[in-house]
A = this chain, B = another copy of it.
Amino acid sequence: MPGETYLADCRARVAFDLLANTWNSVVLWALRDAPVRPGALRARIGGISAKVLTETLRRLEYNGLVERRGHPGSPPRVEYALTPLGRTLLPALEALGEWGFDHGDAVLAAQDRAEDRAQEAARPTRSGVGSRASF
C-alpha cells in the first residue's frame, strides 16, 4: 500500500512524504552542518524526547538520509551524520527554512486572524485568550 499513489507527479511525493511528520525535517536541519551526538541533538532541538529522537533517526536511516557512526561502550560514543544522499536534500530544506524566516510571522498573523474570526463567530463578545491551535 505504500506505493500506489497515482498522482501525476509521483516522485515529488517521495520528498513530501519524507517531511510529512513532525521531526524528520527538524532533525535533518539540525544535522546540516556537521555530525552531532544524540545528546547534543536533543539539546539543540529542544522539546523532543529521547525516544522520539531515536525513532526519528532510525526512520531517517531507513530512508538513507542519515548514517549512524561509532559503537557503544562505556561511555557510549555515537554520532549521526547526513549521508551524501541526505546532503542533496539540504538546498531544498534551507529554502524551506529561509521561507520560514521570511514569512513565518505572516503565517502566525494569519493564524491569529483566523482564530479571531472563529471567536467572534461563536460569540459576539470578545474574550480571546490566545492559545493557538497546532495548525
Contacts and interface: CB of A to CB of B under 8 A. Distances in A.
Contacts of A125: none
A114 B15 CA distance: 18
A129 interface: no
* Copies of this chain in its oligomeric complex: 2
Interface in A92-125: 92, 94-111, 113-114
Q: Is the interface of A mostly helix, strand, loop or mixed?
A: helix
A52 interface: no
Contacts of A134: 2, 17
Nearest to A46: B8
Interface residues of A, number: 66
Nearest to A85: B106
A39 interface: no
A133 B26 contact: no
Interface of A: 1-22, 25-26, 29-30, 44-47, 59, 61-65, 85, 88-89, 91-92, 94-111, 113-114, 131-135
